[in-house]
Amino acid sequence: MQIIHVILLFTLINLFACSPPKEAPLKIIANSWIGYSPLFYAKEKGWLEPLNIKILTVISLGESLNIYESAELDAFTGTQYEFNQVQQKDPSILPIIIFDRSNGGDSIMANQSIQDLQKTTQTIDVYLEIHSVNQLVFKDFIKTHHLSHKKFNYINKNQLKIYSILQAEIPTNTPTIIITYSPYAQKLSSLGLQELASTRNGLELLVIDALFTPKQTYLQNQSKFKQLKKLIDQAVIDLETDPHQYYETVKMHLEDISYHDFLNSLKGIEWLNTHPLPIELQQRLNQAQFPIQDLI
């Protein structure tokens, strides 16, 4: 019997030794922006498990980028700002899936009107995520509305922290600007803050949301990324067919916003998941040196 046990033990050891190592998952990081919700929907539906794709969700754009770089993840969602930041360190980075164009989803909110901000001699508090597209949105806003000469006190916080601070107390004596995006814009509006401009009105900036990955990662996982694109397309179809079911599926990734605010947030984006991209948009992306030749 002992001989038989020894033989079985060696057989098992040989089987484990010969079995191939488990394939590492393809890891994607995304922040809580409604434009990335098709990823969250695919995750919660269980569609990503057969593809061995993992989605990590964080609050801020800057945090997403930092974790992508420090944890050596495979892909990240972001705007052209994040793309340009990574491209300086990794020239091989490229956009492979475009989700949407911000059409009111990124906005400027404040406790005063534009006219009052233009007249003020006080230093203006500015809440924003500095290392993100918030910075570009703010620069475009102050240039468009002739505020570049004003003095600003920058307060660098993620959107959830900004909301928590202002929920506790809205400044009354200090002029205050908040650079935000859906769904946080809806939360800030409920506090009584007013929208001064957005990517629909009062801003000239083009903001595109996409999935980015290094070229080598794309080539090694091309089939997975193509299947992921089909799942994203299906998620958008499900959203348009049954928005409430979609909302219930993804709301935990969007800071549990109400269904009403969810529907309002959708008005701030234009889905661009189908091909081809509008000619006018292709021209603007080419002018911005944003590569589109590898888009799935």
Per-residue pLDDT tens listing for the chain (296 residues): 444 443 444 444 454 455 555 788 999 999 888 999 999 999 999 999 999 999 998 877 777 888 888 888 999 999 988 999 999 999 999 999 999 999 998 999 999 999 999 999 999 999 999 888 899 999 999 999 999 999 999 999 988 899 999 999 999 999 999 999 888 888 899 999 999 999 998 888 889 999 999 999 999 999 999 999 999 999 999 999 999 999 999 999 987 788 998 998 899 999 998 778 888 889 988 888 899 989 99
Select from 179, 174, 189 the least CA-distant residue to 257: 189
- Give the DSSP per-residue string, 231-276: HHHHHHHHHHH-HHHHHHHHGGGTTT--HHHHHHHHTTEEE--SSS
Q: Residues 6 or more apart from 90 whose CB is under 8 A from it? A: 214
Q: What is the pTM of this model?
A: 0.83
pLDDT at residue 137, rounded to an integer = 94
pLDDT at residue 288, rounded to an integer = 83
Spatial separation of the C-alpha atoms in residues 180 and 119, rounded to whole Å: 23
Q: Residues 6 or more apart from 148 whose CB is under 8 A from it? A: 142
